[in-house]
Amino acid sequence: MSRCQVSAASSIPPVSSARASGVPPRARASSVVAPPLAAAAESTLPPHLPLTPAGVHAYPLEHSVAPGQTLELCVSATEPYQLSFCRLGPQVDDPAGDTVLLRLDPSPARPQPIHPGSYVHVAAGLRGRLQALTLECWVRPWRLGRLQGVISQEDKDADDGFALGLGADGYVGFFLGDGVSPEEQVVHRTRPGLVRTQSWHHLVATWDGWKKRVYVDGIEAGAWDFTGPLLAGTHPLRLGAMGQAGLARHFLDGDLAQPAVYTRALSATEVRERHAARALQPPAPADLAACWLLAEERGEQVADCSPARRHGRIVNLGTWMIGGPSFAADVPRFGGYDPARDPRRGHGLRLAADDLHDCRWEVTHRWRVPEDARSGLYVARFDYVAEGVPRQYHCTFVVRRAAHRPKAPLLVLAATNTWRAYSGTPFALNPAERHVVWGTGGIERDPRGLPAFNFYRDHAAGQGTYQMGLRLPWPAAAPYVLYGGPTRYSHLARAERFTHIWLEEQGYAYDLASDLDLHRDPGLLRGYQAVIVAGHNEYWSVPMYQGTDDYLRAGGNLVVLSGNSVFWRVSFDAAGTVMECRKADAPGARVPSDRRGEAWHSHDGRRGGMLRDCGWPGVELIGVDLLGFNSPAVAAQFGPYVVEDPDHPLFREPEDLGLKRGDRFGAGPDGIRIANAHEFDIRPSTFVRLQEQPAPAGGIVPPDPAGITLLARGEVYWKKGGSAFDYFGRKISPRTDQGGEMIYWERPGGGRVFNAATIASGWVLEVDPRMAGLLRNVLARFGVKR
């Protein structure tokens, strides 16, 4: 058996957990700054078209750092700047209250380029004079309108090599270089319109020493004389790109399956047979110069199964786990579909001209965090002038507890996964205004040719965003970013600041940790009297879920001042630098329902999407799940809580809040800062009451977990706007003002949960004494002392 004879699904990452079938969870010194580096280290990136973003942009190599450790900060700046390192202070909207730990002398402008565009780089190309050639590949383009490489070993500025590509009007182009002829004499094109977007096409280009031919979907689409010679040249071989001026460019926005190169010309009969195989059968080994089955389904290496071993490396990741030309991707939502057992799934690799998951910038500044630094939210603050206007740019990071220090009574979890998920325009020009309204897709509609995608915004050619890199700027996490302009509402880092400040004003000591800290160390929560989840903690990995569940089962206490919590499943690569999320079957999905088979993660092979669909339902961890959202810019849609159980100890002990059944609380006197704003969660039984159509085949709304007490019912004024959804993500129209449900839950399996069930619950602590008193009662019940 040849090395190419590999099962079509053999390398799909196996699903190794009972979770895959939907089984519920069960037990189980001084500060110093390094000078900017004087010279660039040799890059491991093959030569690649560079772009330089204007302005000041920065990211830390890690989201969090401990006292005594060194923060490594990567900066690109086309303007001079002055850098300060600050712990955010007691004034949410005024940096004057921040603690400045170090202010550096002004730094000169020092831009660093980015290199967007994914493709496969094969260093060991064909060499010498070729007597015959076949290039074969399945391709599904996402966008036409410009030149794009499919298989190439050439440079637009040279006269040798070969290339198979797509053109602006859907033509297929075939180039063979004889070393002397100008391009217009040796590039031949089919008629336009043969290739369509969103459809798989089988492309084959052959040369038998006399005649060039191009086949599209098994049918000859063009033939031209070419007697050679064919000189392979010394260029690298590229899949999904071409070369020009020595640089990779002309990147493919499309999906590839089973690209292959032969040193003979396939016959028309062989081409038809290869088309009929739908990339499920490897090619015959005779005269096979290279074939990449793309069966790895993870990582950046792609193996050549031919004896030549022309292995490739994916630049800028690409996207695995999309299936091949034979794949019927509209798999059932429920029923335990397993990609590894689907004999017709095949393999493919999705590429994007704007793929970028690591800027690869050099470290510009190094700062050793003082040994006595308090845990909390910090920023690297850049003051600079652009277009004659003073500006500030903030790069946010967490200082966590030092390992040798005793734990505070409270751990607060920073929703860094969500901050990253919303970072849609990492290279946006920084506005002069301090407060910026940051939408789901970022702050720029036109990103000026720079990458601009996130879990709410597709790639420029329409590919759904399935992964985001952590080594990119994340200005969405800046401390003054708003989400509702007129209301000054926030849901990212600024939203969490209200809880941080309230805790400090009330005298509660706390440690701060990032989502990634919990993902890397699921035992992180052990030893804390209580854990607070604040703001908009929407994106959770399985290790985060398991670590929290284990903490609760051991008798821990959880305070949730968040809405739309524990909703989407994410995973991380082994280095913790790429976050994957395959959003399906819910509002904001990036995986369309007719391609649900793409919802399985490449990192671990498990089902992606809503955690409730992945076997890790939020209701089993925190008691409630997402109902819907209203406009964060329209205060008339916001509502308070209405007391349901006024005699519960949380309303009476140790502070008697004086509330009666039907009383409203959770709102400030300004009529804007109100708890049921933006997004809110409810119990399963309430989903059942609101459901308007039968459950989809195989779908079940779980019962309420035993032991839950409804403390208060939130009000949301649906008649004034907003969108609500049933448990299966289908739009509904509530006939009542149903909002988030505040619960107290003594879990039969161990642990206690207080869940305010709205993003804005922490927003009102400062303006509603009864909400503040309630939280003090909760912390007292959980044994947290000031």
pLDDT above 70: percentage of residues in the chain: 95
Q: In a 3-state reduction of DSSP, which class is residue 190?
A: coil
For residues 418-441, average pLDDT: 92
Residue-averaged pLDDT of the chain: 93
Contact 547, 434 (CB under 8 A): no
The DSSP-derived string for 724-745 is: EE-TTS-EE--SS-EEEEEEEE
Look at residue 8 in the predicted model and tell me its pLDDT.
39
Structure tokens at 182: 């100008």
Q: Does 447 have pLDDT greater than 60?
A: yes
pLDDT bin (cut points 50, 70, 90) of residue 130 is: very high
For residues 170-177, average pLDDT: 97
Q: What digits encode the pLDDT tens for the residues 282-339?
A: 999 989 999 999 999 999 999 999 999 999 999 999 999 999 999 999 999 998 999 9
The DSSP-derived string for 411-450 is: EEEE-HHHHHHT---TTPPPPSSSSEE-BTTBS-SS-TTS
Q: Does 43 have pLDDT greater than 60?
A: no
Q: Does 38 have pLDDT greater than 80?
A: no
Structure tokens at 638: 């916001």
95 φ, ψ (degrees, to nearest 5): -65, -10
C-alpha span between 705 and 601 (Å, rounded): 29
Interacting residues of 33 by C-beta distance below 8 A, sequence separation 6+? 102, 104, 365, 366, 367
Beta strand residue intervals within 23-182, DSSP E? 56-60, 64-65, 70-77, 81-87, 99-103, 119-122, 129-130, 133-141, 148-154, 160-166, 172-178
Interacting residues of 600 by C-beta distance below 8 A, sequence separation 6+? 321, 339, 582, 606, 607, 608
For residues 672-684, average pLDDT: 98
Structure tokens at 417: 């996964």
Q: What digits encode the pLDDT tens for the residues 350-392?
A: 999 999 999 999 999 999 999 999 999 999 999 999 999 999 9
Residue type, 144: L
Look at residue 3 in the predicted model and tell me its pLDDT.
44
The neighbouring-strand residues paired with 732 are 724
For residues 346-353, average pLDDT: 98
The neighbouring-strand residues paired with 57 are 76
Look at residue 11 in the predicted model and tell me its pLDDT.
54
For residues 46-74, average pLDDT: 97
Of 318, 284, 289, give the one whose Cα is nearest residue 301.
318
Structure tokens at 388: 């004659």
C-alpha span between 317 and 470 (Å, rounded): 13
Q: What digits encode the pLDDT tens for the residues 87-112?
A: 999 999 999 999 999 999 999 999 99
Look at residue 444 in the predicted model and tell me its pLDDT.
84
Look at residue 322 in the predicted model and tell me its pLDDT.
98
In whole angstroms, what separates CA 67 from the centre of its chain?
Answer: 28
Of 72-76, 433-437, 493-497, the range with the lowest mean pLDDT is 433-437
Look at residue 12 in the predicted model and tell me its pLDDT.
55
Tell me the whole-structure pTM to 2 decimals. 0.94
C-alpha span between 57 and 531 (Å, rounded): 33
For residues 589-607, average pLDDT: 95
Q: What digits encode the pLDDT tens for the residues 505-550?
A: 999 999 999 999 999 999 999 999 999 999 999 999 999 999 999 9
C-alpha span between 87 and 93 (Å, rounded): 14
The helix (run of H) or strand (run of E) holding residue 542 is helix 542-553
